[in-house]
Structure 1
Amino acid sequence: MADLQAALANSDLIHDRATLEAAIVRMSARIHDDYVGSVPLYITVMHGGLPFAGQLALELGARGLDVEFEYLHATRYRGATSGGELVWKHRPATSLQGRRVLLVDDIVDEGHTLAQIREWCREQGAAEIRIAALAVKVHDRCVPGLAADYMGVEVPDRYVYGYGMDYQEQGRGLPAIYALKD
């Protein structure tokens, strides 16, 4: 197993907890305005999306927006640093037919996993699918047509971890986002 403390010593702090929490508050205002009068199906993408999704849900609730919770677990990484074939570990049990769906995930990197998840939601009959991502990686390699509808912060095109994102299956609970030094 990799040494998380060694990774932290070789990383830059990109966004601290206060910055991330302020970004989540800003996002909640936009999401509230877009969903007022409806109860969206709020699908957390596990595992990475969990810390962000919990914080965002509380902010939406504080604004008076109710959401119906659901989750999915699909991965292309399985502990590796590069993605492979999409593996479904859990699909939502709630029907997506005719629903407004909000996918909540930690990061939009190249977007391959989210693109496949979004396509699956379309196949299930979702009326609308939007993406809320805590972080968006800055580069030009994203899947065409895939973008976060709601974004918290931008991160550099480096290996990032913390606040749900892992460093070799560690560090998801760090209350900040770090990037390994080049």
Structure 2
Amino acid sequence: MLEEVKRIQAHADLLYSEQQLEAALDNMAVAINRQLADSNPLVLCVINGGIVTAGKLLPRLTMPLTVDAINASRYQNQTSGGDIAWLLKPQTPLAGRTVLLVDDILDAGITLVAIRQYCLEQGAAAVYSAVLLDKNLNQSKPIAADFVGLEVENRYLFGYGMDYKGYLRNAAGIFACQEEDLKQ
């Protein structure tokens, strides 16, 4: 497995550098601070992908807030999505709260819709979403993120929280796998 991961990493295209991602996070934080300034938000980090985005975004947010996590996964360390598995639900009561979901990427939107619906069913007063990347699929999605860092082409990505079969979440940039490497 490590040889496969090293091959994927060695051949990948850098789409966004760490500096570009940090600037996008700065811009997202400005918009979130403006929109949610007086809302006492509960920030829900969508695990595992949202760990890096949430970790880097939180110190940029200036309002009082609380933090929890949620894990609803379609990928489970695979390269294609399946049914949603609920692995972790927040311990903080959502009733009456403004919730900010923080995730790495808005792909097809299936997981984000499910998480948003869960929050509303738990009584959240409002649910916002912040994603570092919005993948351009050239088709409509069931949900749009309220705060988006950058748009990205429709390729298999890793870095800044996104993984390749559970690896490479820690890559300092957004990288796209080569199609021929994914077929091997």
By the TM > 0.5 criterion, same fold?
yes
| TM-score bin, normalised by smaller chain | over 0.9
Residue 142 (structure 1) shift: 4.7
Cα deviation 1:37-90 (Å, max 9, x = unaligned): 221010000011001101000111xxx322110101111111211111111111
Alignment of 1:29-108 (within 5 A): 29-60=30-61, 64-108=62-106
Cα deviation 1:96-119 (Å, max 9, x = unaligned): 111110000000000111111111
Cα deviation 1:9-48 (Å, max 9, x = unaligned): 2211000100000100011000000011221010000011
CA RMSD of aligned residues (A): 1.1
Provide the C-alpha distance between the structure 1 equivalents of 2:22 and 2:141, rounded to a whole number of angstroms.
28
1:151 and 2:148 matched: yes
Provide the C-alpha distance between the structure 2 equivalents of 1:96 and 1:178, rounded to a whole number of angstroms.
35
TM (normalized to structure 2)?
0.93
Structure 2 gap segments, 5+ residues each: 180-184
Alignment-derived partner of residue 180 in structure 1: 177
Percent of aligned pairs sharing the same letter: 41
Alignment-derived partner of residue 122 in structure 1: 120
Residue 175 (structure 1) shift: 1.2
Alignment-derived partner of residue 161 in structure 2: 164
Cα deviation 1:134-163 (Å, max 9, x = unaligned): 00101134532x011100111110001100
Provide the C-alpha distance between the structure 1 equivalents of 2:110 and 2:146, rounded to a whole number of angstroms.
16
How many aligned positions are there?
178
